[in-house]
Structure 1
Amino acid sequence: MLHRTVPRQAFGFFTEEMDGESVLFRLGRPKAIHLNETAALIWKLSDGTRSVQDLIDFLKAEYPDAQSDVEVDVERAVADLMRVGALLSTEAKSATP
């Protein structure tokens, strides 16, 4: 289940701000990925300590007028960043054994 996934940034990727946009680069690769505002924030917050559900909750609090879109936007951004190898994931540990 994606909501229990705990994403973290993969080694070799970094972002830069260019003309007011976040651009994701991979060391040794000439192709850049332009990140929208949601994806850029998810990238910054993906440090291996927050689950996808934590990211959804955070963004819902940050953007209360967009609550209906947040869950889908976060899931899509995380999946896209994982697909290109920029995010790695682990499963959140259960509180009960």
Structure 2
Amino acid sequence: MSNTNNIIFKSTCQQMPYGIIILNERYDGKGYPDGLKANQIPLEARIIAIADSYDAMTTDRPYRNALTPRTALKDINSNLGSQFDPELEEIFLKLCNNGIID
């Protein structure tokens, strides 16, 4: 990476909320960038991880069609306790089942 690009990258990253930077942390500690586990992961990042995954699954992508909400929720549920916070996942399911989240 060139020095100019590196400066731009660092400047941009400093402006990003920490929750977005670490949304790839996993509840079981197998994520990145820091390998944080469970409640070491800030609440914002744990919420964003579920919402981002759901959005990615239920939106058309160049490499695949969108999944149905039901299929996406099953996939999220299958990662309960490993990828996602089980308490937040339960809340997310309730919100979806009550029609608050499409």
TM-score, normalised on structure 1?
0.32
Query: Which one has a bigger Cα radius of gyration?
Result: 2
Higher RCO (CA-CA < 8 Å; seq separation 6+) = 1
Output the TM-score relative to the length of structure 2: 0.31
Q: Where is the strand percentage greater, Structure 1 or Structure 2?
A: 1
